[in-house]
Structure 1
Amino acid sequence: MFGLFGKKKAAPVRVMAVLNARLQPLDRGEIEDAFDTAMSEQGFGIRTVGGGTLLEANGEVSQCDIEIEIDDFSDKAVDTVKGVLGAMLAPRGSHLLLPSQNNQRIAFGTHEGLALYLNGTDLPDEVYRACDSNHVYAECQRLLEGVGHVASHWQGPTETALYMYGRNFEEMRQRVGSFLQAYPLCARCRIEQIA
């Protein structure tokens, strides 16, 4: 009679994927949705249960995190989370935080990041009237095909930033370089390596 109930199943374990990625909440949500779809299709018993975005004092995104619940916690499950996120978007400097394991941090991620900051105040008025930051976004996306992509953006008080992630910062910079020199809205822009 006592054997009817068997062994009690362990409660799911939560881990935090801290992505060194400057993603707006909607862009982070797309990764969460894609991650959930992949986990569900494979029947892994792993799912997202929350997420957040860390902002700088000026309102620019600094990093984001995705809270993940794992039914059967193991090294294999952790490797699965790292592998799937790494295939989607995991810039260098990302890590998994394991609260149930004394807040152990496991580094992962290989993507490099490039932030392009368009000057929003110091160009001639006719440039702002004639040019469009959406064109810069679309053209960078086209030029990065096969090596990276524009993952998110930020509109600040004096600058608009486009955040690009791919396999190599220098390769991405070279791919967009000629366009940035030629398009008037990109005059006085700045580029920063962010991963």
Structure 2
Amino acid sequence: MDLTLQLNARLRPNDRGDLYENRLDEYLKKEGIGECIGGGTMQLASGEIEYCDVNVSIEDSYTALDTMKKILKEIGVPKGSLLYNDEVYLPVGDLEGMAIYLNGVDLPDNVYDQCDINQVISDINIRIENVGSFYSYWEGPMETALYFYGSSFYNMRKQIQVFVKHHPLCQKCRIEQIA
């Protein structure tokens, strides 16, 4: 049975592969019930990623479908994700998502010159390590989005409030819940 896992996740293709396709393929093969057969990415008109898909082929049985659900629970899938085909429509996921949109044009030039976005990602990851982690990013013409997923949007946002308020690169940023 071929299924599509539509992930409510904003992931670049390589990140989708590392975080979901490769891991899911490994689990399915280990369980002896199937394999990943592809994936794709849907973009908004702005170029920002809206969601992504992972295509799998598993045995046509309730046992295989139950095993697939357990694997997804273990891997961690964002809320609002779906596992479906013509016969199956199953909402999946319990992770929440947080996007931090860093202003890419309105800050003083010295902020962009002196601040390292990779250090910002690392510093945020340290602050949210018990509730979430960095998954991917998007670079647009006016802003850069950093995507984090974890058990609680509220707790992730709460744990970075002081950091975001005081870090020069985070000035004029916006934070949104994305899952």
Count of paired positions: 178
Deviates more, 1:122-131 or 1:84-93: 84-93
Instruction: From 10, 13, 16, give the equivalent of 1:22.
Output: 10
Q: Which residue matches 2:28? A: 39
Aligned counterparts of 2:124 and 2:148: Cα–Cα separation in 1: 9
Residues 104 and 144, structure 2, Cα contact 8 Å, conserved in 1: yes
Aligned counterparts of 1:74 and 1:137: Cα–Cα separation in 2: 42
Q: TM-score, normalised by structure 2?
A: 0.95
Partner secondary structure for residue 149 of structure 1: strand
- After TM superposition, the structure 1 = structure 2 runs for residues 1-195 of structure 1, keeping only pairs within 5 Å, are 13-30=1-18, 31-42=20-31, 44-70=32-58, 72-99=59-86, 101=87, 104-195=88-179
Distance apart, 1:73 and its partner CA? 1.3
Distance apart, 1:21 and its partner CA? 0.5
Partner secondary structure for residue 17 of structure 1: strand
Q: TM-score, normalised by structure 1?
A: 0.87
- Deviations 1:1-28 (Å, cap 9, x if unpaired)? xxxxxxxxxxxx1000011011110011
Partner secondary structure for residue 137 of structure 2: strand
Distance apart, 1:36 and its partner CA? 1.4
- RMSD (CA atoms): 1.1
Q: Which amino acid aligns with 1:96?
A: L
Query: Which ranges in structure 1 are unaligned for 5 or more consecutive residues?
Result: 1-12
Q: Which amino acid aligns with 2:12?
A: Q
Percent of matched pairs sharing the same residue: 43
Larger Rg: 1
Partner secondary structure for residue 141 of structure 2: coil
Distance apart, 1:39 and its partner CA? 2.2
Distance apart, 1:139 and its partner CA? 1.1
Partner secondary structure for residue 22 of structure 2: helix
